[in-house]
Every structure is written in C-alpha cells, then in structure tokens.
Amino acid sequence: RDRGVKKELACSWIEVESQVHTFVVDDTFHTEAQAVYNYLQVLGEEMRRFGYVPDTSFVLHDVESDGHKEDMLTTHSEKIAVAYGLMKLPPGTAIRVFKNLRTCGDCHNFFRLLSRVVQRDIILRDR
C-alpha cells in the first residue's frame, strides 16, 4: 500500500439462465446474498459430516481465532458462486464458475468433496 501497489479483488462469476452473476469476497451486493449465505452454511455443515475440515493455513490475514479464519474461508467468492449455482441450476447440471485469481487449496478441496456430495460436476476456471 505504501508503494501504491493495489491488490486485485477476488471476483467469481457464473452464468444462470443467460445472465452472468458476479460475486466478490464477503459479497452483500447480490440481491440473493442472504439466501446464498444461508445455503452455504447448510452446505458447510453437510460437508463436515462427510469429513471436510477447513484448512485455515490458507487465510493470509493476521487473525487469531480459528473460528474467524473458518468464517473467512466460507465467504470466498467462488464458494458463493458455486452455492448460487447449486441453488439456481437444475439438478444434474454442471456448475461452471470462473475466477479472476488463483483458487486457494481449501476451496479446491472443498469443491472436490462437494462435487461427490451433491453428485454434480463442479468446474472452476481460475487464473
């Protein structure tokens, strides 16, 4: 910041019914943000039953509480976009999400397991 370097904001998008929906980390701007976050919470609980453990080593911010680190992982833009796709696309349809930055290892592991849990292909294109 002191040298004028700006970090690019993580952004993910998904096409649903010929409309592109864009999400950023901690997104509250989407009209269905609250419903998506509620669904993400349900998905997270179900994923834990299948053995998912959030990998907080991917949280790069200086945060002391593991609980807060897990919350930060939950609100990654690609997780929001995938949850939206699961809510809106017909059962059996592949979920295709695009992201402008690299996906963290926790999200990668989350989607690999989620794909098996929901029995859908989840395709994530990142940089």
Quote the pTM value.
0.86
What Å distances lie between residue 52 and 5, 19, 35, 98, 109, CA to CA? 36, 31, 22, 23, 8
Phi first, then psi: what are they for 58, rounded to 5°?
-85, -5
What's the chain's length in residues?
A: 127
Q: Structural domain tally of the chain?
A: 1
pLDDT of the residue at 3: 74
Quick check: is 6 in a domain? no
Nearest to 31 by CA among 19, 18, 44, 45: 19
Q: Which positions of the chain have pLDDT values less than 50?
A: none
Q: Is residue 23 part of a domain?
A: yes
Q: Which pLDDT score, from 0 to 100, does residue 26 have?
A: 85
**One-letter amino acid for residue 47 of the chain:** M
Give a yes or no: residue 54 inside a domain: yes
Q: What is the pLDDT of residue 73?
A: 67
